[in-house]
Structure 1
Amino acid sequence: MSKEVEWGQIFGEGDVVCTCDNCGHDLRFPFEDSNPDFRGVQTRLFEMGWTAIKVGGAWRDFCSEYCRNQYIKKNT
């Protein structure tokens, strides 16, 4: 999975960790209200040039179109 929640030591805080499914590059988006905002994170990723596609019934995230294309070539 390309988006995971890593909970912090203080109750209700943590990071949404987004990882490119091709190269492994990751970004962290902190939250403090026990409610990670996946939609907001996805919007921010798109603004930063990341892409997402559905491959084999599962959503995959990529840090660039190059990584997306490489993943498709290797996995379809």
Structure 2
Amino acid sequence: MNELKLSKEIYNYGLVKMAVKEFAGISNIVVNIEENFLRCVFTNCIYDVEITLKEFENYVIDLNNQRGLI
């Protein structure tokens, strides 16, 4: 699996895009906006894809927490 679905009710799109830029050296990530969630598709990961997805999600959670959004 190379995609991560993030609820739009919980995760801020702007912060997800910020995280995508931060992870540019680790993976190519494309964010598709769907009705209820943001679908993040990962390709060319330099580390294990499952670990990369989890670390990306943790990073986005931290960004949201820093701004008091979660």
Normalising by structure 1, report the TM-score. Answer: 0.27
Q: Whose strand fraction is larger, Structure 1's or Structure 2's?
A: 1
Query: Which structure has the highest helix share of the two?
Result: 2
Please say which structure displays the higher CA radius of gyration.
1
Normalised to the residue count of structure 2, the TM-score between the two structures is 0.29
